[in-house]
Amino acid sequence: MVYDPKASQLIPFDFEDVLDRLPELNRLDFQINITMLSEIIDSSNMTPAIWVELAQLIETNYALYDSFVILHGTDTMSYTASALSFMLSGLNKPVILTGAQLPIGVARSDARENFITALEIAAAQIDGQPIVPEVCVYFNSLLLRGNRSTKQESVQFNAFASENYPHLANAGVSIDYNRPFIRPVAPDQPLTLHTTLDPNVAILKLFPGITPTVVEAIVLNPALRGVVLETFGAGNATTEHWFLDLLKTAIERGLTIFNVSQCEGGRVTQGQYQTSKRMDELGVVSGADITTEAAITKLMVVLGQEHDPARVRTRLSQPISGEMSV
């Protein structure tokens, strides 16, 4: 973003001016080509259609470039990173998303370091092979697996965290890679694109005092095919009969319910406590240690590929691209 003095607000940055804003890019020892989408947006306006456009752009240029860096607003960056990780099956090149907390025109902006280091990580190779051949988020010295990241700060520079998976790299004076946790290159695996996403999903966050009317409005909505249910602690929810009856009715009608913890760290251990055992019996899918961002985008991708609810539940319970530990 850049500040528009006429409008007295932040507006999307025209990346054709990036070399004027960041002359340091000219000192990097690799070639950079810059491409802009047809419409520059604030990331709060992100849609699945734009994820498809990004994925197709990568596929079209996959053989021409060693890696890809996506400049993206922070608000929905983890959603985009998660979606791309599921859409780009067989990815063997770096796709690094980065952005900034302060606009690029501000003197103290973190955009310069984030962008330049993301480019260096994307270009890093050993014996002709990329060091990080997966979708990642780079921000404030940390490289995170994209579908394990979540935005945790709106006013500090350490905007993103990965509570349930180690950092893939730490960029200080040198860039130290956490190699055991980086997905290895699989050179014989071709890139396969999945661009059919089903947006008929919702997130339902439980809270003490939630009413039957609220739950019913979500889980019995005939237009929905899937719901990410944000539960307490290790996947627990109220055992009130009305709540369990609504879940049972919804699942019998074909709705897929994906159980994700409201906690930033930890995991769903569905069935361990009495408060989640009944959900396990009803067919609610445990999300283990997946983030909400990864859960909702994974649900869109899987629902776009599968129409049998049993197949959907099976696919959700298994990792696709390192987004969950089972």
In which band, very low, low, confident or very high, does the pLDDT at 213 lie, cut at 50, 70 and 90? very high
- pTM of the prediction? 0.94
Contact 80, 97 (CB under 8 A): yes
CATH topology identical between 2-193 and 201-316: yes
Reported CATH class of domain 201-316? alpha beta
Element (H, E) at 89: strand 88-89
CA-based end-to-end distance of the chain: 39
DSSP symbol at 86: H
Q: Higher pLDDT residue, 275 or 231?
A: 231
Whether 210 shows a pLDDT value over 70: the answer reads: yes
In which band, very low, low, confident or very high, does the pLDDT at 102 lie, cut at 50, 70 and 90? confident
Other Cβ atoms less than 10 A from the Cβ of 178: the count is: 12
What is the per-residue pLDDT for 1?
66
Structure tokens at 214: 């609220």
What is the per-residue pLDDT for 103?
75
Contact 243, 271 (CB under 8 A): no
For the chain, how big is the Rg over CA atoms in Å?
A: 21
Element (H, E) at 18: helix 18-21
Q: Kindly state the percentage of the chain with pLDDT values over 90.
A: 75
Contact 305, 162 (CB under 8 A): no
Q: What is the pLDDT of residues 39-49, one digit of tens each?
A: 888 899 999 99
Whether 33 shows a pLDDT value over 70: the answer reads: yes
Average pLDDT over every residue of 159-182: 96
What is the per-residue pLDDT for 319?
97
* Alpha-carbon span 98 to 32, nearest angstrom: 16
Element (H, E) at 83: helix 77-87
* Alpha-carbon span 176 to 153, nearest angstrom: 24
Question: Measuring CA to CA, how many Å separate 296 from each of 25, 237, 269?
Answer: 36, 19, 19
Strands 125-126 and 95-98: unpaired
Q: Kindly state the percentage of the chain with pLDDT values over 70.
A: 96
**Lowest model confidence (mean pLDDT) among 56-65, 78-87, 96-105:** 96-105
CATH number of 2-193: 3.40.1010.10, 3.40.50.1170, 3.40.50.11540, 3.30.420.80? 3.40.50.1170
* Alpha-carbon span 208 to 236, nearest angstrom: 12
Listed by start position, the domains of the chain span 2-193, 201-316
Specify whether the backbone of 311 is left (phi greater than 0), alpha (psi in -120 to 50) or beta. Answer: alpha
| Mean pLDDT of the residues in the chain | 92
